[in-house]
Amino acid sequence: MTSLNKDRDLWIADPSGGRALAYTASCCLNIQIRSSDR
């Protein structure tokens, strides 16, 4: 069995670590939100 992604990258291990950008990628605008924003 050859795993093409690492165990630590599985969703069940870390569902969204480091992936916040994907959620801010709306259909019309892709923005990197700064943590200092309100």
Partner 1 sequence: MRAYVYLVVGGMYLTRRLLTYPLPDGRWLLINTLSGAIDIIAPAVAEALKQLLQNERVSLDPAIETRLRERGYLFDNPAHEDRRFQELFSTMMERRKREPVQFAICPTYSCNLRCTYCFEGDLTAGPLRAMSPEQVRNAFVAIETIRRERHPGANAHLILFGGEPLMRPVKPCVALILQEAELRGFGVGVVTNGVQIEDFLDLLLPKKRLIRQIQVTIDGPQEVHDRRRPFKSGRGSFSRIVRNVEVLLQEGLPITIRINVDRENISSLPNLMAYLEDCGWTLYPNFSCYIFPVTAYTDSNQTGILAEDEVLSELQRMFGGVGGQMPGFALYGFKVLGHVASVLNPSSLPLRMPPLFTYCEANGLRYFAFGPDGLIYPCGQGVGRQPLAIGRFHPVFELWEDRCALWERRSVLTVPQCQSCPLATLCGGGCAFGAWVRTGSLMEPNCQGSPQVLDRYIDRMISHIMHLAPM
> What phi and psi, each to the nearest 5 degrees, are found at residue 9?
-95, 0
Stated length of the chain:
38
> What phi and psi, each to the nearest 5 degrees, are found at residue 26?
-80, 175
Beta carbon of residue 6, minimum distance to partner 1 (angstroms, whole number) = 10
Distance CA 30, CA 17 (A): 19
Q: Is 8 in the site for partner 1 (CB under 8 A)?
A: no
Binding mask 19-38 for partner 1 (x = CB under 8 A): xxxxxxxxxxxxxxxxx-xx
Q: Is 5 in the site for partner 1 (CB under 8 A)?
A: yes
Chain residues in the site for partner 1 (CB under 8 A): 1-5, 7, 9-12, 15-16, 18-35, 37-38
